[in-house]
Structure 1
């Protein structure tokens, strides 16, 4: 599933390169386009292409692209196209595939310590990949700074996600250390709190869930932002949106099912543990449990 999803993401991103190469030739110097082809994205304040007299001179070409000098040569344009594709594929893979899959991994109840190591190392590597993707996005935004691209929610939310995700491995490491110490105290018979969920891991869990949702949403905002750029047409934008939407929705539903199932199983386990403790306490006080009292009068256990 992961392999087919990566192929689909790469296919969707390749629409950008195909359209760019088909639409623009040598000497193109373009800006952003909107749905009406007037060369102005919805978040820009002053790029309507009109001159001081209010006339629309030669500010827009026949395909609706304004003449803002973003790229002066085909080589620069091709480079920006490749960076845009890499940014989209890497960031989408991180928040749609890698991080949700690694979060699900630790919910599969696999009794093997290597699972936790795979989760931790994989999440750190995913964050490093996201840093690279953000760097590419910042470069693209700087190239288009004259058009007020920083006013769009996509780059803003991307930086917020980058900052918040920095704390994820820290909270995870703190919890792991506390958990191991408490478990060791239990084995040695020392007084300690039970090695369950700690405050750091609660922050780790809920921050991770929030980041997955925000990451998927920001991917959609990124496709929306790209649809106002000269790198793709309306048709390829629609195909990219559909491909990303299907993959992101599928992964989110799978992740949601695993999280809910895990929490329900954990709640049942805790309830059974509490009941077991109550029976142990009752037996220490010399009081038989319900089943034992039934057996004492010759009835089968569980008789009603």
Structure 2
């Protein structure tokens, strides 16, 4: 039912279909289902007149197995502002079509639309929910070109609710795609899903025109405007962030005590750090398409963790500088270690919330938990090994230096300076000759000088030089001797 109006039973719908066929209603194109998953399918059709004029009716069909609690189809490529058509069982062998307006990644509220009609052939058919819908004058649609659509579904027991404003739980999964309505034209403005040729073609799980995820004969374009589909971006985001937080950062934390090289540790963590920002950028693009940025726990916690992780390289640098100066850990060292551990744990938890948000099957969730558990066990085992080794050294009376410090010191001690060759100094050092010791005068020279000095004539007062030269010079008393021989006056 739609807006409280009862629909025909499937038997009556089949009779009406046969009557329409006898009346000569002809459908030019045979709508081919697009199935994003095995148990949910959609079909589209536009009358040729509407495609030519650019306005008129558009037909679409929602199909879901009985294992699906509700299924929805929306006009738009993001939740915010999308027009939603939600189908669920009413408990009376029929379905309820609820038209809703979405304001974000929260439960869309019911909004009555007089231009939307639930057509014949809708109901519980062969154990599946079917809703044939006609929308007259639906905005945001290019009836002759490509338009954006989105879908969501929730698996579970039937809702069995006739109210179009019934509360619907958060979806298990969703999908965003483009539909080229110009390739989905039919000749007449009539319900194209009553064509007997299509009576079994739209059953979810069957493979008319392709398997699950088929492109509906070229009508549905999952690439979306020349770029990757939203589902592809979601998968890339999930895989990349899982590698970063579940594998990358923990391995980088183990490299420091296990390998003992801060260079390897810093290089690895920097590489993973850049990968984290790439995954975050993909998340921003996805939020922009679906319109739920910071509107759920996964996006809120993700922004929080990534923003705080931006401080970790700074703390690591400060820790390294402190250690190189003091050769021991300080407050900044333990802050760097435990701050990083806390953010890694929050990142792993947020990854689980992301799996829930994307509606991944349980095997994916189990694999995620298993990998996280294995990495956590390896990290704890290595930490316990390092702790026990330090305790053993203390018991043996050795230095209580922790394991990481010991490896740092070992790396420094292992450094060897390159050998110096004699040839390395060529052209670098200028050589100087030793000065020569001056020659000392010969003894003969000294003797000759003395003789020359003695032969020199000295003019004495009262004698001329010639007389002085012919006679021997009188001996002069030594003044020291004269002074010693002078008689005492007393």
Give the TM-score, by structure 2 length: 0.40
Find the counterpart in structure 2 of residue 248 from structure 1. Answer: 372
Question: 1:124 aligns to what SS in structure 2?
Answer: helix
Residue 140 to residue 199, structure 1, CA distance change in 2 (3 Å) = same
Counterpart position of 2:232: 82
- Per-residue CA deviations over 1:17-43 (Å, capped at 9, x if unaligned) read xx847666786999xxxx7325599x9
Residue 325 of structure 2 corresponds to 181
Structure 1 counterpart of 2:423: none
1:90–1:130 CA contact under 8 A, matched in 2: yes
Structure 1 counterpart of 2:349, from 213, 217, 229: 217
Deviation at 1:64, TM superposition (A): 6.2
Q: Which runs of 5+ in 2 are unaligned?
A: 1-34, 45-59, 63-67, 73-85, 87-101, 119-128, 132-150, 154-170, 180-220, 401-490
Retained in 1: the 8 A contact 2:245–2:344? Answer: yes
Q: Residue in 2 aligned with 1:297? A: none
CA shift at 1:132, angstroms? Answer: 0.7
Shift of 1:81: 1.8
| Counterparts in 2 of 1:141 and 1:26: CA distance versus 1, 3 Å | farther
Q: 1:127 aligns with which of 266, 273, 295?
A: 273
State whether structure 2 residue 218 is matched by structure 1 residue 72.
no
* Residue 237 (1) aligns with residue 361 (2): yes
Indicate if the aligned counterparts of 2:175 and 2:230 stay in contact, CA closer than 8 A.
no
Give 3-state SS (helix, strand or coil) of 2:257's partner.
Answer: coil
Distance change >3 Å, CA 37–CA 99, structure 1 → 2? same
Q: Which of 47, 53, 68 is the aligned partner of 2:108?
A: 47
Q: Residue 91 of structure 1 contacts residue 130 of structure 1 at CA under 8 Å; is this kept in 2?
A: yes
Q: Indicate if the aligned counterparts of 1:99 and 1:212 stay in contact, CA closer than 8 A.
A: yes
Partner of 1:94: 244
Q: Deviations over 1:220-258 (max 9, x none)?
A: 11100001xxxxxxxx51111111111111111211222
Shift of 1:181: 2.1
1:92-113 CA-to-partner distances (Å, cap 9, x unmatched) read 00111111111111122x45xx
1:141-152 alignment runs, 5 A limit:
141-145=287-291, 148=292, 150-152=294-296
Q: Give the distance between the partners of 1:70 and 1:20, measured in 2 at CA.
A: 9
Secondary structure, aligned partner of 2:305: helix
Structure 1 CA distance, aligned partners of 2:328 and 2:325? 11
TM-score of the two chains, using structure 1 as the length reference:
0.62
Which residue matches 1:163? 307
Contact 2:152–2:175 (CA under 8 A) maintained in structure 1:
no
1:205 is matched with 337
Alignment of 1:276-295 (within 5 A): none
- In the alignment, is the contact (CA less than 8 A) between 2:61 and 2:130 conserved in 1? no
- SS of the aligned residue for 1:72 comes to strand
Whether the 8 Å CA contact 1:80–1:140 is kept in 2: the answer is yes
* Structure with greater proportional strand content: 2
Shift of 1:82: 1.6
C-alpha contact 1:95 1:212 (8 A) present in aligned 2: yes
Cα shift at 1:72: 3.3
Say whether the 8 Å CA contact 1:29–1:70 is kept in structure 2: no
CA distance in 1, matches of 2:358, 2:117: 26
Offset at residue 44 of structure 1 (A): 5.1
Separation of aligned partners in 2, 1:121 and 1:141: 31
Aligned length: 224
Q: Distance in 2 between matches of 1:61 and 1:259?
A: 57
Name the larger-Rg structure.
2
Alignment correspondent of 2:382: 258
Measured at CA, do residues 64 and 163 of structure 1 come closer, stay the same or move farther in structure 2, by a change above 3 Å?
Answer: closer
Paired with 2:306 and 2:61, the residues of 1 have a C-alpha distance of 32
Higher RCO, 1 vs 2 (CA within 8 Å, ≥6 residues apart): 1
